[in-house]
A and B are shown apart, each in its own frame.
Chain A
Amino acid sequence: MKYFLSWVQEFLPGPLPDVDHVVAALEQLGLSVAGLERTQTAFEGVVTAQVENVGNHPNAERLRLATVFDGSHRHQVVCGAVNLAKGQCVALAKIGARLPGEDGKSFVIETRKIRGIESCGMICSARELGLGQDAQGIMVLPQDWVLGRPMQSYIAPDAVIDLELPSNRWDLMSHLGLSRELAIYFWRASSKDHQLSNPVETRQKISISIAENALSACARYEGALLSGIKVGPSSWTVSHRLRALGYPTINNVVDATNYVMLELGQPLHAFDWAKIKGETIQVRWAQTGERLAALNGRSYELGPQDLVIADAERPVALAGIIGGEETKVVETTTDVLIECAWFARSHVRRRSKALGLSTESSQRFERETDVVLLGLAVNRTLEILKETPGVSVRATTSVFPNPPLPVRFELSPDLVSKTLGFSVSNEELFSLLTPLCEETEKFDSGRWLVTPKSWRSDLRLNEDIAEEALRYLGFEKISKHQDDSARIPAITNIPDELQWLEGEQGRSFKELTKARYYGDRLVELFLGDGFDEALNHSMVSGGQIEEICGPQWLANAVQLENPVSADMAFVRPSLSLGLYQNWLRNRRYGKGGTPMFLQELGYVHSWDSSWPSQAPMPGSALHWAAAAWGPFWPLHWKRQEENNFDFWQMTGTLEQSLRRIGAFVSRRKPANPMASWHPHFQIEFCCQGVDIGYVAQIATEESLDHRWDSPLIVAEVNLDRLESLLRGRASVRYAPVPGAELIRRDLSVIIEKSISWGKILKCVQKELGDLLEMAAPLDVYVAPKLGHSKKSVAFRVWLRPPNDAVRVDEINEWLARAGRRLKMDIAAEVRHG
C-alpha cells in the first residue's frame, strides 16, 4: 500500500525524522519498502495564478489559448490540457521558471512560439512539477490560494512510500495504522487520535436491520443519512492525495469514502438515498435468482451464499465487495446514505474468490477490519462532507447487537526472554505494551494480564509479544547477546526412531532416503559416462503423456484441478516426457550437430492401481531416467569412425551402473510397452523377477526423421522398487583371488534366428558351470548360404581352470561338452573358431 508521509505525520506525537531514517525504521519493522517517491519541490518560479479567459488556438484544434492572471500581470499561455477552464486557480510556470525534467535534468521555461502563437509560460500538471504521477491534465488548486504566491509556500516536500505488508497485519492498511507503528518505534507512544467533533447523534433514525442468520457475517452496521449534498469535485487536499496515491477522483461523496478508507482503513459505501426503495436497508442472504448490476458494469447472479445489502425490494450491494450501479451517487444526487459496516473476513474472502472480484474494499474486509473503529470512520466521513455548506446530517443509526469482548491473555515476561534467547527488561517490555494494549495488569506471580488494542487481534501469545519486542528493539539486540549465550547445533545422535518413521506410501524415511541415495549414485555414474543432469517441470500436458506413454497412461494420469496452463495440466507419470521435450529443444535450436546426453532424478505420479499407493494419495515413485542422442565420442584425430550412442550402449551402460550399486539385472520383453517405443528396440530390466526399468528407442515421427542418423535412446529406473529389492540383501563377503590364468577360446554356432544370445549363454553356463568365467558375442551375421531362417553367432569364452596344470586335451574336452549341449538344447551347428 502507498502512504503519504505528510498524512501519516498528522497522527504522530512529534515530527518524523528525514525520509531515510523513516525508511530504515520501516525495514527494521519488517515492512519492505517497495517504492519511494519523493515529491520534492524541485521547481522555482512557479506561482499560483487564475485562468481569466480561455479561447481557441487559431492554428491548432487541440490547443487552447489562456489568459492567466498572477495577481499583478497577465500572461498569454498556450495549453493543451482538456480540463482547463475559466476561473480555475492553477500553477503557472513563468518565463525563467525552472522545472524538474522527466530525465532528472531540470529545464528553464522560455518564451516560445507554438503553432505561430507566442506562449509566455506554462500551466503545469502535477507530474510536470514532480508532485505526482498525474499527467492527465493541469493541477487545479484551491480557490482560496493567494494569487502570485510561490507554490512552495503551499506545498511542502513530501514522500510517497509503497510498503509490502505482511498478510496478517491488516491494521497497517491505512495511514492511521502506519502512524501507530511509527509512534511506537520512535516515541514508544500511541498515535494521536484524530481531532474529531463529537459523535453525531440524531433523533431521527433510519430503518436498518441485519438478519438474525447473517449476524456472523455482518456484526455491525452504521448508517448516516446526509441531505443537501451537491455532487461535484472534491477539495484540494482530498483530490490531491487520492490522485497522488493512484486513486481516481470521482466526486466529492465517493472521494470522501475512499479518503477515509485510506486514512482509517475502514471501507465505506455511499448510496443515493432517492434510489433506495422503501427507505429501508436490510443486510441479508440473497435469494436464488436475485441479481445485482454492479459498479464495474457486470451483472452477478446471486444465491443464498451471497450476503447482500438490500432495500425493500432488491439487493443494492454485495456486502463488502462492490456496490450496485443503480444506487450509486450521481450528479443529481442530493441525499446520501453512508454505509460503514463490519463484514466477516472469511465470508468476503470466499465470495470475492468465487466471483473473481477483488476490490479495494474486499481486500480490506477479507484481511480483517476493526469493528471498534466504525464510529470514528462514520464521523470522519461526515466531517469531510459537511465542509460543503448546506449539507446536514438527517439521521444516523447504529446496529451492533453483540459487541465483542476484548481479548485478554496472560503474558509471562520470562517466557518472552526465553523465546528470544536474551533478556528483555520488564521496563522495556512494559513501555512497548503500553501503546499496544488497552490495559496491562501486573500480578505478583510475575505474570501480566494484557488486553491488546482492538486492531492488534493478532497478539495472543507470549511468542507474539516476543516478535513485537524484536521488531521494535531490533535484531541487533540479539547479536549483542549472541557470543555468550547462543547454542549452535553440533553433530549429535539423532533418535533412531526418526529413521523408521513413515513417510510416503507408508515407507520409512530411511527407505525413502535410500532410494534417493541409489538415484544419486546412478546420477554420479552416468555423469562419468557423459550424461548431463537435467531438471524438468513436474507438470506436463495430456498430449505429451498420450504421445510418449500412451492413452492408458493418460487415463491414469494425475490431473490438476486448476492448472496454470494446458501444457501443465497433468503431473508427469514418467521422466521420459521431459527428456523428450529437452531433445526437441536441443535439436530444434539449430544444434543438430551437438550430441545430447541427459539424465534426471525426480518423482513421478499416477493413479494406476498397480503403483503402490496409500489412499487417498495417488501412487508415486522416485525415478531416474536418461536420454541419449548423437555421437558418444567427440570428434578426435585418433578415432576416425563415427560412434552414435545406440540401444546397446544404453543397455550396457545401465547394466554396468546398476551392478555398481549392487543390482544384477536380467532382461525380458516388456509386457506393457509405451506408445512411443520402437517395436524392435525395447527391453525391460528385471531384478529378482520384478521389473525395475526399461531401455527403449523412441520412435516418434520426429525422432525417426531421416535427417537424424542417430537414434534417441531412453532408459528409466524405478528407484523405490529397486530399493525394496536390494533391501535386506546379504552383505558382500571376501573371496580368494583365483590363481589360475584365464584361457580364451572362440566358438561359432549356426542356429535359428529366433534363438537369443541369452539362450546360447544359458546353455554354455549350464554345461560348464564354474569353469566359465565370461562369454561375449563377437559377431552375429546372416547370409543366404546359412539358409533364410539361420544366423551365425561367433563368441568367445573365458575359462577359469581349477589350477594352472591344465592340458590342452582337457580344454578341448570342455569345449566339446559345451558344443554337444548347444546342439542338444538349441539345435546349434557348432564350429570351433
Chain B
Amino acid sequence: MTESLTFENLESFRAQALNAIEKANTGQKLEKLRINILGRKSSFQSLLSGLSRLSLEQKRAQGPRLNSLRHELEEAIESKRREFSRLTLQIKDDGTNDLTLPGLAAPKGRRHPLSVVGRRILNVFEHLGFRYVEGREIELDENNFTLLNIPEDHPARDLHDTLYIKVPSSGFQVPGPENKTGDVSGSKNFFSNAQLGISRLLLRTHTTPVWVPVMRGAKPPYRVVTMGRVFRSEAVDATHLPGFSQIDAFYVDKSCSMNDLTATLEIWVAELFGPETPVRFRPSYFPFTEPSCEVEIGCFVCLGKGCAACKKTGWIEMLGAGMIHPSVIQRLGHDPDQWRGFAFGLGIERVAMALYGVPDIRFFYENDVEFIRQFPG
C-alpha cells in the first residue's frame, strides 16, 4: 500500500486490505495489520480526518462511504481474531504441556500451634458472651496473691513458685507502708523485698490477677476472658517450663451457681471437643474460689481406654474452676451477699499437647520451622 490513498483508489485499497487480513496467519501479524490499515497514523485515518476540509456535498457523499468501509474492515479483523482464538484451542497437545508440574506461589506461613489452640478456646468463650481483656505480665504481689486470698506464708504459694523482679531503687517511689526511696547513687541499687511488701513486682504466676482491675473498676454483671503468659520458677523438663500460657475467664452476677458453672463448661467442652465428649468434675482447691473443682474430659486420643496422653486414666485434666471466693469479691469492692461469681482457667500448652500428641512442652518454644509447619495453622 505504497501509493497514497484517495477516494478514487478506495476500492482497490479495500480489496487489498481484505486480502491481507484474510492472509494473516498469526495474531501478531493481524494486530500489525490493524494498525497499518486503521491505526492513527494510517492513510485511511488521514483520509478520514481530511474529510472535514471537504465541501458539505462531498462530505455527504464520501462520509458514509468511508464509515461503512471502516466497519467492514473492523469486522473482518474481528472475525479473523475470533478465528485465531478458536484455533488456539484446536492445537493438539503433543505432551510437552505437563500439567502435573508444580504451581508457583509465594509460600504461606503457619500459625504457631499454641496460638491456634488458644484462639479456638477463646473463640468459644467469646461466643458465650465473655469479653476479652488484656492483662499484664509483670504484676504486683498484691494483685497476683494478696487480693486473691493468697497472703504471704500461705501454703498455696508453694504451688506458685514465683519469679520476682528486682526493682531499681533509683528514681522510683514505692507506694506502701514503708515509702522509702532507695539510694540514688547508681543504677545497680535495688529495693529489697521487705521494703516493697505487697508492691513487690513479680512475673504473674497465673492470669487470674486480671480480675483485680476489672472488678475494682466496674460494677457487675460482666463476663470477662483473658489470655497470656504466666511464669513459675520451675525447672525445665518435658512437662514443665518457667513460662507458659493460660486462659482465664470469670462471670459475676446477682445469682450464679456451681450449677451454671458446670453447665457453661459442658457447653465449652462440647464446642471444642465435640458434643459426645464425656466431662467430669472433681473437687479441688484454689485459694480464690470456693467451692473449687477440676474439670476433666474423656481422653480423645484413646476414647477412655487409657493411653499415654491421659496417663492411662482415660481422663484428661482440662480446667480449674469454682465459685469466686466471697472474700475476694469483698476485697475487690463488691458486696459478697449481693454478688456471686464463677471463674475458670486453663493452660493452653496442656490442651495443645493432648490435642496434637506433642510429647514434650519444650518443643513449643524452640520454634523449629519444621515443627511449626506440621500444624494446620
Contact = CB atoms under 8 A, between A and B. Distances in A.
A503 B106 CA distance: 40
A568 B242 contact: yes
A538 B173 CA distance: 26
Given A491-B129, A538-B243, A562-B164, A167 B110 contact: no
Contacts of B293: 30, 470, 475
8 contacts: A28-B282, A30-B282, A478-B258, A479-B262, A487-B260, A513-B132, A563-B163, A605-B138
Interface string B90-104: 000000000001101
A618 B219 contact: no
A464 B130 CA distance: 27
Contacts of B27: none
Interface string A586-598: 1001010010111
A534 interface: yes
Contacts of B256: 487
Contacts of B156: 167-168
Interface string A606-641: 010100000111101000000000001110111100
Interface in A559-601: 559-565, 568, 571, 578, 582, 585-586, 589, 591, 594, 596-599
A561 B166 CA distance: 5
A523 B108 CA distance: 12
Nearest to A349: B153
Given A27-B282, A582-B367, A620-B136, A494 B222 contact: yes
Contact of A463 (B135, B158, B267, B323): B323
A516 interface: yes
Interface string A425-440: 0000000000000000
B258 A466 contact: yes
Interface string B141-173: 000000000001101101100011111100111
Interface string B251-275: 1000111111111101100000000
B3 interface: no
Contact of B267 (A346, A488, A502, A538): A488
A475 B172 contact: no
Contact of A535 (B112, B152, B258): B112
A539 B242 contact: yes
Closest A-B pairs by Cβ, 9 of them: A421-B259, A421-B257, A30-B283, A467-B291, A166-B285, A486-B263, A346-B153, A501-B217, A512-B134
B350 interface: no
Interface stretch (A62-70, A328-336, A524-532): A524-532
A504 interface: yes
B351 interface: no
A792 B358 CA distance: 56
A633 B159 contact: no
Interface string B175-190: 1000000000001001
A83 interface: no
Interface in B91-127: 101-102, 104, 106-112, 114-115, 127
Interface string B216-243: 0111011110000101011110000111
A531 B377 CA distance: 12
B282 A475 contact: yes
Contact of B115 (A345, A531, A535, A560): A535
Chain B interface residue number, banded: 35 or more
Contact of B257 (A419, A479, A599, A617): A419
A489 B137 contact: no
Nearest to B223: A489
A366 B157 CA distance: 12
A340 B49 CA distance: 122
Contact of A637 (B101, B127, B173, B262): B101
B262 A513 contact: no
Nearest to A633: B106
B294 interface: yes
B373 A478 contact: no
Interface residues of A, number: 108
A30 B243 CA distance: 27
Given A490-B129, A538-B137, A591 B370 contact: yes
Nearest to B232: A564
Interface of B: 101-102, 104, 106-112, 114-115, 127-138, 140, 152-153, 155-156, 158-159, 163-168, 171-175, 187, 190, 193, 196, 199, 201, 203, 213-214, 217-219, 221-224, 229, 231, 233-236, 241-243, 251, 255-264, 266-267, 280-285, 287, 290-294, 323, 325-327, 340, 364-370, 372-373, 377
Contacts of A582: 366-367
Given A168-B156, A366-B155, 16 more contacts: A421-B259, A422-B259, A466-B258, A497-B218, A504-B136, A523-B111, A530-B108, A533-B111, A533-B115, A555-B187, A571-B138, A594-B369, A615-B172, A616-B167, A618-B201, A632-B106
Nearest to B134: A512
Interface string A143-172: 000000000000000000000001111100
A607 B259 contact: no
B281 A461 contact: no
Contacts of A605: 137-138
B109 A30 contact: no
Contacts of B134: 503-504, 509, 512-513, 515-516
Contacts, number: 309
B165 A596 contact: no
Interface centre among A346, A538, A539, A559 (most CB of B within 10 A): A538
A711 B163 CA distance: 37
Contacts of A481: 259
B238 to A, nearest CB: 16
A405 interface: no
B176 to A, nearest CB: 9
Contacts of B222: 494-495, 498
Contacts of A603: 136-137, 229
A591 B243 CA distance: 27
Contact of A478 (B217, B262, B327): B262
Given A466-B291, A490-B129, A598 B369 contact: yes
A49 to B, nearest CB: 40
A2 B52 CA distance: 113
A78 B373 CA distance: 62
Contact of A528 (B109, B130, B193, B323): B109
Interface in A515-563: 515-516, 523, 526-539, 555, 558-563
B174 A616 contact: yes
A615 B203 CA distance: 16
A489 B251 contact: yes
Nearest to B105: A634
A482 interface: yes
A527 B236 contact: no
A503 B211 CA distance: 11
A471 interface: yes
A687 interface: no
A594 B370 contact: yes
Contacts of B158: 167
Contact of A533 (B104, B110, B199, B257): B110
B97 to A, nearest CB: 13
